[in-house]
Structure 1
Amino acid sequence: MRIALLGPLRVQAAGVPLEVRGLRARRAIALLALNAGRPVALTQLVDTLWPDDPPATFREQVYNCVAGLRRTLGTRPRPEVDVVRTGGGYALTIDADRVDALAFEAALRVAAARASAGDRAGATTVLRSGLRLWRGEALEGVVDGPLGFAATRLDRLRGEAWEKLFELEMGVRRDPGLIAEMSAVAERYPLREGLTCQLGTVLWQAGRAAQALEVCREHRRRVLAEFGVDAGPAVRDLETRIRAAGPPAGVDRLIADVEVLLAEVRGLLTKAARCPACRTG
């Protein structure tokens, strides 16, 4: 049996999809799968099934939910995977490598160990294998309450995995596909300083300084809009180094000049909008 949480919830037995009916049942199996083999306290289950206000009959409803899950997972005397009672809670008897979210985290640990040992190629292979497990948003369709925190954590780990992967590949890859891939990931994680610096650096090294500067400026705009502060020192330092290297040549120089002009125009328009005497109507 396999349980997939890195996207819409999917439960398969021998390659055959099993339908987990009802939002509470899907939340329950997601929580139990995230804790594969480990006990989940009744209070944690209740908070997950009813993030706002549990009913007075929550014990009976949890019992019924678990009974329904056991029927879904299999009715044989010894089912491959079962929900068992453990003290004051429940546990799902499934190996961690059968749950994609846990397999992804294991891949990150293996990749880190290989990178520390100097095996960059091995670390890259493991990271890409782990990232391929993602089919959409983490815990898609069941995100709420405690599962929302789990989804946020998994997404953060996904961003960190991409960042580490690009760090390993930047020194050896020179194909255009790297920039395209990094651009897509940086767009998904616009507030990650490391990804912004990586994309800006490869663009700069590819002779696309104007685009590299725009990547830095866009990151700073988004950080300012989100947090009310300037971006971190790494992005500011990269922007300074690109400018200090001198103006780009050819088409890139023209793009840079146009971008500077547009920035000046935007600044004038912003000042005009803030000036009461400049407003009409």
Structure 2
Amino acid sequence: MSALMQRERLRTLVVDDEPLARQSLRSLLAGDAGMEVVGECATGREAIKVLRQGPVDVLFLDIQMPGADGFEVLRAVGPGAAGAVVFVTAFDTYALQAFDVGAVHYLLKPFDDARFASVLARAKERVRGLRVQGMARQLGELYSAEEPVPAARPVSSPTYLERLAVKEAGRVLLVPVEQIDWVEAEDCYVQVHVGSRSHLLRQSLRELEAQLDPRRFLRIHRSTLVNLERVRELQPLFHGEYWVQLHDGRRLKLSRSFRDRLDQVLSGR
């Protein structure tokens, strides 16, 4: 990770309908030289307006607010409006829903300085990870652009990901997709399994699936994507379900709802 990336201040927006809560967050953030509070909002509608003008790195977001609650704000502006979202609320009933929409943490009021520092550290790591992935993606695109394109390849044919950029120990690795064994969904991340190693990416399974060649990678479960080249055999279970056994011996479950698509691929349709 470059020194420039570490020194760059993270643009932060504070959204809460309580003035004292906003003041408390501002004071805590002011003590961190790596953070820059670029604005604060007292209502969800005001937050939507500000976020539509441009994204921020970190968003501290209350849930229960007049006009539009925190979840409505995120639905209105989309996932690209903030690199890391931290819900700050006095209610503990929304935790699961918060993580379902990709929140980096759920900060329950009242909280102490140590708790805030821990949450802020996670938010920083999320943003920096996203920046590394963005740089790696650009590097991969440049690398692919230098390779000659076969003359017989149709211009209109879809293009799929050839390498996956993953962060490991401060480095960015470019993993050829043919080396991937299988992928599993893990909250708002995916775990990419390559041999005996695995890599965690902040991307939904649906997003990654759309980037991979469907003739090679197939969804066999709502949370599992498999490289067909790694499949050795299918073992029947009950009610139309199967075990998908890979060459390394691992078994993955094939759900009945995904069986038809597998049949189509195997029959060449």
Coarse TM-score class (shorter-chain normalised): 0.3 to 0.5
Which structure dedicates a bigger proportion of its chain to helix? Answer: 1
With a CA cutoff of 8 Å and minimum separation of 6, indicate the structure with the bigger relative contact order. 1
TM-score for both structures, normalised by structure 1: 0.32
Question: Where is the strand percentage greater, Structure 1 or Structure 2?
Answer: 2
Normalized against structure 2, the TM-score is what?
0.33
Q: Which has more radius of gyration? A: 1
